[in-house]
Structure 1
Amino acid sequence: MIRFDDLTVFVLAADNGNMSAAARLLNIAPAVASAAIKRLEAELGVRLFARSTRSLRLTSDGARYVEFARNALAELRAGHDALMQEREALHGTLTISIPSDLGRNVLTDWLDVFMVQHPALALNVRIGDMRVDMFRQPVDAAVRYGVPDDSTLVAAPLAPDNRRVLCASPAYFARHGKPASLEELFGHNCLRLALSEAMHDRWTFEKNGDERVIKVTGNRISDDGELVRRWAVAGQGLAYKSRLDVLADLRAGRLETALDDWLGERAPVNLVSTHRLALTPALSRLRDFLQERMRAYVAQSEAD
């Protein structure tokens, strides 16, 4: 029976022309390497090397056999790698909840890439801005704005420095002008989001440690952040959106920001999961993937 270790010693000795070099590469004693070659020669019934005290060269039989040995080792390594990839592949179904606007316009494309990288994984996506109860609903993780109040949940940061921005379309600003102060917001049509009976009509701004909260009004309300963004792009009013939600619109000129000397409220993006599920291979891989994508997305915007 030909041993894998003996073939390895043989190929390394042939490549290096030196038994001691092969032994050093394998971290074994020269005597062990020499014994491996003798064992292989005995198994094959031929001499593989012509040896002297100063040189080591392949015999004609050894020169013919070394290519077969290399191919055999390559096939064995390929088989080992295939088994390891299969063992490390993500399986099963991953159920995630993602927000309406960022989910539809950014995350779904990224998730397509993630699925190509992990073809054995099935994905169940729930999209919407309503918060899910992760202990009562079969959801493994949720991409959400803000840090959860529940201490039994784990929040892995994806975009910790994200904030909201005040924005509208160029057409809206052409008709109504850009507000020059927070007080001027009272005279603008503000597009509002309502979730779980809570109206998001108090917009918070910060400058030099001074925090101001403005209660806004307008003629359009929705429980869907994507619809609020579309209204803003269509010139229907001012929106107070996560910068990530409108980043593509700002780059393309479909939206413009206003009151840039004031910082909007913080809107960190996190991948939220329960303690029980926080360290599963699928969630860990998804977390790392989304963190990398989010960093690149924000960095591209800053470069522009």
Structure 2
Amino acid sequence: MANQDFNDLLAFLAVARERSFTKAAAKLGVVQSTLSHTIKRLESQMGLRLLTRTTRSVGLTEAGERLQQSVAPRIDEIERDIAALMSLRDKPSGTIRITLSEHALKKAVWPKLVGILRTYPDIKVEFDIETAFRNIVEDGFDAGIRLGESVEKDMIAVRIGPDWRLVAIASPAYLKEHSKPKHPQDLLKHVCIKRRAAAGGHYVWEFGRSGQDLRVRVEGQVTFNDSHAMIEAAIKGFGIAYVPEDMVTRHVRSGELVIVLDDWSPTFDGYYLYYPSSRQNSAAFKVIVDALRHHDTRRKRS
């Protein structure tokens, strides 16, 4: 059926239901003369008279009655189906793929999403745990999460967590056998637990105080690319480790670990969720972004 024929049928049904050209025209948002012309065209195309018109009322002919009984239920069904489909436009559903580090997942992401994912069971989130940076466009991710200082300028960045520190920690047993470092350069005389950098090689420890920045390339017996393993090795006395402070709070409180060089521990820009400006945000994606958004407005990029 041509679009015009379908529109003519809708016009006919409006008149048939209202039994009035005036009321039907108002409901359809057209002028009465246009509606009258539409009905005449439909009758001409079908070769049947569908309506009886008097100065006071509008009635249906036998053909009109049969057409209404045949078409109205089908039109109603189509309208219900379309309404159901349109509701999906705003219904949060679908899969969101995010690349991020394990620390970002545990500290800035997962605690905020537990309740949201239970509220929206049709939203599925796929986490890709990587220490290396990924090209989210080429690798098919919806978004990535990394420290604010590392987000490319052409990306939309949404802050999802507060600033945080890396701290140097060691066990009391280790510090009993080795003098406590007072300056980052003292680490060169210590056994340290090294971290494998995402791009290869070893992470160079970064320190700062009073505008002075230092980078120290430490040495040690063991190397990990996982903070949990580094913390466990530090507890067992294998040396000084350099890890996110929020991961060792309970160990420091219990006395298992001691923070050293505390006044040299720098604060890093917090985690940001980032995605390309060209991305068409779905309802599901907006739910995830809003749930993760950090609401401390003192330092917001978006």
Q: CA deviation at 1:169?
A: 3.3
* 1:130-156 CA-partner distances (Å, limit 9, x unpaired): 211101112112222343353332221
Measure the CA separation in 2 of the matches of 1:115 and 1:212. 42
Q: Which amino acid aligns with 2:232?
A: R
How many pairs align?
212
Q: Determine if contact 2:93/2:283 at 8 Å carries over to the other structure.
A: no
Q: CA deviation at 1:161?
A: 2.4
Pick one of 242, 245, 252 that aligns with 1:243: 245
Measure the CA separation in 1 of the matches of 2:292 and 2:163. 15
1:199-210 aligned within 5 A: 199-200=202-203, 202-210=204-212
Measure the CA separation in 2 of the matches of 1:228 and 1:218. 12
Measure the CA separation in 1 of the matches of 2:271 and 2:143. 13
Q: CA deviation at 1:128?
A: 2.5
Q: Determine if contact 2:144/2:273 at 8 Å carries over to the other structure.
A: yes
Cα separation, partners in 2 of 1:106 and 1:267, compared to 1, 3 Å? closer
Q: Which amino acid aligns with 1:199?
A: H
Partner of 1:122: 124
Measure the CA separation in 1 of the matches of 2:268 and 2:205. 11
Pick one of 253, 260, 263 that aligns with 1:261: 263
1:55-204 aligned within 5 A: 88-104=90-106, 107-148=109-150, 150-194=152-196, 195-200=198-203, 202-204=204-206
Q: Which amino acid aligns with 1:150?
A: E
Q: Determine if contact 2:156/2:277 at 8 Å carries over to the other structure.
A: yes
Q: CA deviation at 1:93?
A: 0.4
Partner of 1:218: 220
Unaligned 5+ segments in structure 2 are: 1-85, 297-302
Cα separation, partners in 2 of 1:253 and 1:98, compared to 1, 3 Å? farther
TM-score (norm 1): 0.59
Report the RMSD for the aligned CA atoms in angstroms.
3.2
Percent of aligned pairs with the same amino acid: 24
Pick one of 280, 285, 289 that aligns with 1:283: 285
Cα separation, partners in 2 of 1:278 and 1:242, compared to 1, 3 Å? farther
Cα separation, partners in 2 of 1:192 and 1:185, compared to 1, 3 Å? same
- SS of the equivalent of 2:150 reads coil
Measure the CA separation in 2 of the matches of 1:165 and 1:214. 14
Measure the CA separation in 1 of the matches of 2:250 and 2:276. 31
Unaligned 5+ segments in structure 1 are: 1-83, 296-304
Measure the CA separation in 1 of the matches of 2:276 and 2:253. 36
Q: Determine if contact 1:95/1:123 at 8 Å carries over to the other structure.
A: yes
TM-score (norm 2): 0.59
Q: Which amino acid aligns with 1:264?
A: P
Measure the CA separation in 1 of the matches of 2:154 and 2:269. 21
- SS of the equivalent of 1:94 reads strand
Q: Which amino acid aligns with 2:202?
A: M
Q: Determine if contact 1:164/1:242 at 8 Å carries over to the other structure.
A: yes
Q: Determine if contact 1:155/1:270 at 8 Å carries over to the other structure.
A: yes
Cα separation, partners in 2 of 1:98 and 1:244, compared to 1, 3 Å? farther
Measure the CA separation in 1 of the matches of 2:190 and 2:105. 28
* 1:277-303 CA-partner distances (Å, limit 9, x unpaired): 3744333332332235x97xxxxxxxx
Q: CA deviation at 1:245?
A: 3.9
Measure the CA separation in 2 of the matches of 1:278 and 1:242. 34
Measure the CA separation in 1 of the matches of 2:175 and 2:115. 37
